[in-house]
Amino acid sequence: MHPLLKKDRENLQELLSQTQKVAGEYFRQQDTLAPGRFVANIAMETLPEKGIGAMATLDHFAKNFAGQIANSAGPRYFGFVTGGSTPASVAGDWLVSAYDQNACGSNDSIAPQLERQTIHFFKQLFGLDEVYFGSFVTGATISNFTNLALARQWVGLQQGKDFSHDGLTGAEPVTVLSGTPHASIFKSLSMLGVGRKSVIRIATLPEREAVDIAALEKQLIQQAGPVIVVANAGTVNTVDFDDLVAVAKLKKKYNFWLHVDAAFGGFAACSEKYAHLLEGINAADSITIDAHKWLNVPYDAAMQFTRHKGLQLSVFQNSAAYLGDPEQSPDFFHYTPENSRRFRALPSWFSLMAYGKEGYREIVERNCAAAHHFGELLKASEDFVLLAPVRMNVVCFTLKQDDLSAETIRKFLEAVRDDGRVFFTPTQLHGTWAIRAAVSNWLTELADMDLAFEVLEKVSEKLKKAQPA
Ligand SMILES: *Cc1c(COP(=O)(O)O)cnc(C)c1O
C-alpha cells in the first residue's frame, strides 16, 4: 500500500473529526453566509505527481475554496426549487459514503430492502396506492425520463410493437399532451428518441398554468392512436395543479398513459390545507417526486413510481434472465437507468424516521406561510408587482416598470446576489420577464422573508438612483 494511503488509514478517525469540524463550521454559519456569490474562474492547478495526503488536502480546500461555496442549503436561497438537508439526512448521507454500498443487487445486503421500506414510507406520506412500484433515481429529470420510457413502451405495445427490443424505427410518432410541462420533459423526450417536438402544448385556463380540461379532451378526440398525457402537479412558476380528478375521468374515456410530474407539488399531500390539490393522483400510470427539493435531503435523490412494474422490467432489465417472471422481485438494477447505484434511499429513510409525517407537515406549512407573507409584502410595495396569486411555496413577481427585459432582471438579480443576504433566479411568465422566490428549505422562517423584502427594496432604490434621469 502507498505510504500516504497507509498513513491516512491509520489517521482516519482524526481526518473524520477534522472534516466534521469543517462541516460543523459551515452549519454554524448557515443563517448568515451569502446564499449565492459571484465566483471568478480559478487557475487550473497541475495534478501533483506526489500527493499531499488527506489532511493537507482538507486544509487546502477549507482555506481556498470552502468560503466560496453557495450557501444554497441555508434559509434564504430562493433560486430554482432548492431544499437544504435536515440534520438526520446529513447523518444518513455521511453513512452512505462510509458504507459505500452498491445498491443494485439483493443477495448481499439489507440496502435494497431499506430502499423498498423507504418507498413504502413515501407511498404513505403522499397517499399513493400500495400497488405502486417505486425506486430511487438521481433527480426528477431522471425520474421523468424513467417514467416516460415506460410510457413510450406502453404506446408501442398498444400498436403491437416492442420499442425496447426493436427500437422506434418505422413506428408511428409518439405524441405527448401537456399544459405547462417542465423543461425536463422535453429533455427526457430528446434522450428517449421520441423527440422534443412530440409535445403538443394544450391551452391552459385563463391566467393559469393549469391545463384547460375541455381543450385536452378536444385534442384527445382528435388523436388517432394512444398518447401520453403529462399532468403537472405543481408548476415551477406558480405551483399550479392540473385538475387530476378531471384528468382521471378522461382516462376512463380515452386511451392514454397518464404521467404526473409532482416533483415538489407532491408534498401538498403533507398538509390538510393543500392535499386536495393531489386528489385523483392515484389514476396515474407513473409519478415523479423529488427528494432533494422539499424533503430536504442532500443531492441527488428523487423517486419514480409506477403501476406497471412488469413494463419497467422489460425496459430496464440488465439481461434477459428475468424475462419470464416480472412478479419476482429482482434487483433494482433491472428497473432503473443506472447499473451501479448509490444507496441514496438512506438519507430519506433517516429523515422520514426522524421527523415523521408531522415534521414534514410543519415544514410544508411553514414554507407556504412564509411565501404568502412575502407575497403580501410585494403586493403592498411601490416597486414590485405580484404576477400570480401565491398558491403554495413559490412567489412569482417582477419589477414595476415598463421596459422589462431579460437584461433588466439579470442585472437586478446580480445586485441582489452581491448584497449577500438572499438569492433568487429569473423566469418568464406568460411572456413577462420575472423573478421567482421558491421557499422549500426547512430552515426558512417568516423573518427571512422580511429580510429578503428589505434587500429587494434597498437594491431597487439603489438601481433607481444609479439610473440617469
Ligand atoms: C425541479 C423539477 C424537475 C427537475 O428536477 P431535478 O431534480 O432538478 O432533475 C422536474 N419537474 C418539476 C415540476 C420540477 O420542479
Nearest CA residue ID for atom 14, ligand 1: 263
pLDDT of residue 469: 57
Q: Is the CB of 81 under 6 A from ligand 1?
A: yes
> Of the residues 144, 182, 235, which should be mutated to test ligand 1's pocket, given the most ligand atoms within 8 Å of the CB?
182
The amino acid present at 178, given as its one-letter code, is: S
Q: How many other CB atoms sit within 10 Å of the CB of residue 55?
A: 15
Distance 295 CA to ligand 1 centre (A): 13
> Of the residues 141, 235, 348, which should be mutated to test ligand 1's pocket, given the most ligand atoms within 8 Å of the CB?
141
State the closest ligand 1 atom to the C-alpha of 80, by its place in the atom list counted from 1.
1
pLDDT of residue 318: 86
- C-alpha to C-alpha distance for 150 and 286, rounded to whole angstroms: 8
- C-alpha to C-alpha distance for 390 and 77, rounded to whole angstroms: 18
Distance 182 CA to ligand 1 centre (A): 7
Nearest CA residue ID for atom 12, ligand 1: 263
List the chain residues with pLDDT less than 70: 320-329, 468-469
The amino acid present at 162, given as its one-letter code, is: D
C-alpha cell at 41: 474562474
pLDDT of residue 106: 74
- 181 within 8 A of 261, measured Cβ to Cβ: yes
The pLDDT tens digits for 331-367 are 898 999 999 999 999 999 999 999 999 999 999 999 9
Q: Is the CB of 394 under 6 A from ligand 1?
A: no
- C-alpha to C-alpha distance for 367 and 247, rounded to whole angstroms: 28
State the closest ligand 1 atom to the C-alpha of 300, by its place in the atom list counted from 1.
7
- What's the pTM value of the predicted model, to 2 decimals? 0.97
Please report, for residues 111, 338, 343, the alpha-carbon distance to residue 102 in angstroms, rounded to integers and kept in the order given. 9, 11, 7
